[in-house]
Chains A and B, each alone.
Chain A
């Protein structure tokens, strides 16, 4: 998924009919993207891989990755445009279809877009610029060194002030051999005019006018509308359904059972209803009566998971994932701080419900999907429906929020299966209730932590028994943890051990997966240890960071543990302490400040929350300060600020009142009335600063989220003396007197 591109494959150059220049990987690609209507329709100008310079002067840059609100449709083209040295406002930005052979990895997940593309996309642009300079120099018969690009798609011959537009040079450039991308000259950071500038999202004009843009807006001629009704108990089969009655209802064209399989991430059993309008499909659905077959997971519940976890935590862990020194021994006889923590399942609840449009004809499948992971969707459809992958076309349509939910393609394979049956284009739009009840949830988790500080208040032992879900030695999706996760390497005696129980609930990645839960547990427990050591929580953390002593790297070819860079974390910790005036402000009773930091997705974030708890228990988040370090440059400061503030508010939203409860094998919650999101009136000011480090820039969509939750719960402790060891907060009585 994150394989690096072979540069020789990545950059090839060739001419296109009509005198244009293409810089990309292969030819003969015709965009059939929903966005393509904006482009010249002349076939000569059919866009290709990353850059197209048409003879009429239009310059098109391809946005290669799925856009779900994280801003890559703007920030990735910025990288190309910078090195191509063209004016941003003159560009056409076009969304790519799914085709990893042409574009490389196309995934919106793991905050990988920036680190994966930073180098190759700038090189793609730089090759284009070098070719323009060569073409101009040859046209004028002058040395290349006398020519320079001017930032507006022109090349100037410095001594004579003559200039030529890229469009005029495109035909000639297409006859030249491209320079080696690996050695092509790239700009120094001081020359940047587009990278590092706050550039508004390229789809903003459509968004503010309400023009069709999202998956749910896709219209295909002759399209019908589908509902797909699955069992509340995940994966239960259809025993019987009143299909004859449904088929007679207004506008219904077909209703049928799909057998489906037992893989929770695959096509699950259900009833499809296909009608001439969305509303008629909904009305028919309301009359649907299904008897679901008995299913082995019908007994599972959040309460039973919790009981089982409590049993596990009272016994020895099943396995040790990572150890340094001897934590259990070091804890013997020391004055031990011990605490149990837990957190619930969570849904993603992106505002656009899952949907997909599909058309199956002549053995070929075409889908329009707001997916974060088109390639795995292609494989899922191919394997499930017996279609050759080469016969599947996937148009990536803007998604109304992703947060990791759209890394799974269950809705895509459902739409494809229905389309295959009815042989006309079908749009499947889930209800919000489908969306909440059939998510891939952030798994719940349970921890018993034990720690010890010595007489100097130095942390000497840390032992974590993590109870999670899985079978054998494997974890359920997104239910695992990396062995070298902080504070491994920062405590002389350390153990991370786990026990797992089986799970029949679909789980998956939720924004800052693992971290969104672990940061709460670890940074809260570090706060407990700081108080046991009678140290200021910021100072205690500084001392922990100074204790970094990783184990020697393993011999052999095994995976190498990754540790965070203590100096970068210290940098953001110091910065956030300064920004927030940590320890310098007298606060009234009921008001407190909490601090936390976390390293994830290559990003370093430290955050301080100030919160007030009224005597009656009402909680107000007064303010959040955020210090982040994601490398040498913030590619798009406007988008970055959006991502950081969005992540912080997302974390607060999760902590305050979000919980998915499993009862009788099914999800209890159903819509925004019982799975609440933060609203305008609960939004605190969020102040953000970035620290610049001399390493290539990394992603922004996730790493700002994890610290805010423990910073908030630590602030509640500072305000009230109440230690929060489970979420969400609305289950706690915060009253004080």
Chain B
């Protein structure tokens, strides 16, 4: 049965098997390759997208279950890659292989919407479902703090960043 939903602001009707996980509908039917396949069982967070504003694992969520929902993928997070998290991630050179990062950013974006100035323990709690096999965790944490201060229009050095040195080094490179 066709399912209607909104993806990155555009209304879509998908004629796919009801049991197809949202992840594969996004990747293959709508050609949105940002959400990634990592485990298929909700363990890694690589497939994270926003469903009605919440960060959700799309790999084990059947399309039929999100009829009429509002879906945002990393491709729809900002029009031009200027969401504070996207800016901070490049400034701090967060990625190693980069495979987990779309999921990391989407989870962090949902966190920042609820909690614009998250503490380290807010970050621990929110990000615990997102694995990074390359272990870029230090810079993910710094990136979230940095994005929070960009969003707050606070260009001063981010006092809460756990590695101000790396931030300074990365900025020096720009």
**Residues in chain A within 8 A of chain B (CB atoms):** 68-71, 197-201, 203-205, 207-214, 216-217, 219, 250, 277-280, 283, 349-353, 398-403, 429, 431-432, 637-639, 641-643, 645-646, 648-650, 653, 671-673, 677-681, 683, 685-686
Contacts and interface: CB of A to CB of B under 8 A. Distances in A.
B39 A283 contact: no
Interface in B56-109: 73-75, 81, 85-86, 89-91, 93, 95-102, 105
A650 B73 CA distance: 29
B170 A279 contact: no
Contacts of B28: 277-279
Contacts of A642: 93, 96, 134, 136, 139
A78 to B, nearest CB: 11
A401 B36 CA distance: 13
Contacts of B164: none
Given A210-B74, A279-B21, A638 B170 contact: yes
A279 B171 CA distance: 43
Given A69-B98, A680-B127, A216 B93 contact: no
A205 B90 contact: yes
B135 A279 contact: no
A198 B127 contact: no
Nearest to B162: A685
B47 to A, nearest CB: 11
Q: Which of A201, A250, A279 has the most CB of B within 10 A?
A: A279
Given A200-B90, A208-B86, A210-B35, 10 more contacts: A208-B90, A211-B34, A216-B33, A398-B98, A403-B133, A429-B37, A672-B131, A680-B137, A681-B124, A685-B138
A399 B97 contact: yes
B98 A207 contact: yes
A69 B97 contact: yes
Contacts of A679: 127-128, 131
Given A283-B19, A678-B135, A401 B99 contact: yes
Contacts of A401: 96-97, 99, 133-134
22 contacts: A68-B97, A69-B98, A200-B91, A200-B93, A207-B98, A210-B34, A210-B102, A212-B33, A214-B36, A351-B36, A351-B46, A351-B134, A642-B139, A672-B38, A672-B41, A672-B131, A680-B124, A680-B128, A681-B124, A681-B125, A683-B141, A685-B162
B124 A208 contact: no
Contacts of A205: 81, 90
B40 interface: yes
Q: Which 10 A-B residue pairs are closest in the complex by CB-CB distance? A: A210-B34, A69-B97, A400-B99, A210-B74, A649-B135, A207-B98, A672-B43, A200-B93, A69-B96, A681-B124
A567 to B, nearest CB: 28
A639 B98 contact: no
A212 B30 CA distance: 13
A71 B173 contact: no
Contacts of B27: 278
Contact of A638 (B101, B131, B134, B166): B166
Given A205-B81, A398-B97, A429-B37, A351 B170 contact: no
B20 interface: yes
Nearest to B100: A351
A209 B74 contact: yes
A708 B121 CA distance: 25
B98 A201 contact: yes
Contacts, number: 200
Nearest to A674: B43
A58 to B, nearest CB: 21
Contacts of B130: 680
B140 interface: yes
Nearest to B85: A208
Nearest to A212: B33
A403 B96 CA distance: 12
Question: Chain B interface: which size bin?
Answer: 35 or more
A432 B42 CA distance: 12
Contacts of B7: none
Given A210-B75, A278-B24, A283-B19, A204 B38 contact: no
Contacts of B37: 216, 353, 429
Contact of B96 (A277, A283, A431, A646): A646
Given A283-B19, A638-B173, A352 B36 contact: yes
B17 interface: yes
Contact of B131 (A637, A639, A677): A677
Given A210-B33, A429-B37, A646-B135, A352 B97 contact: yes
Contacts of A650: 135
A279 B21 CA distance: 8
B148 interface: no
Contacts of A198: 93, 169-170, 172-173
Contacts of B166: 638, 641
A672 B137 contact: no
A641 B40 CA distance: 31
B161 interface: no
B162 to A, nearest CB: 7
B103 to A, nearest CB: 9
Nearest to B102: A210
Contacts of A70: 96
B96 A211 contact: no
Nearest to A349: B133
B55 interface: no
A353 B41 CA distance: 14
Contacts of A210: 32-35, 73-75, 102
A350 B162 CA distance: 26
Given A642-B139, A646-B135, A673-B43, A352 B93 contact: no
B20 A279 contact: yes
Contact of A208 (B39, B81, B133): B81
A701 B45 CA distance: 25
A280 B29 CA distance: 13
Contacts of B112: none
B31 interface: yes
Given A642-B139, A671-B41, A208 B101 contact: yes
A278 B95 CA distance: 27
A643 B96 CA distance: 8
A730 to B, nearest CB: 17
Q: Which of A71, A197, A280, A679 has the most CB of B within 10 A?
A: A679
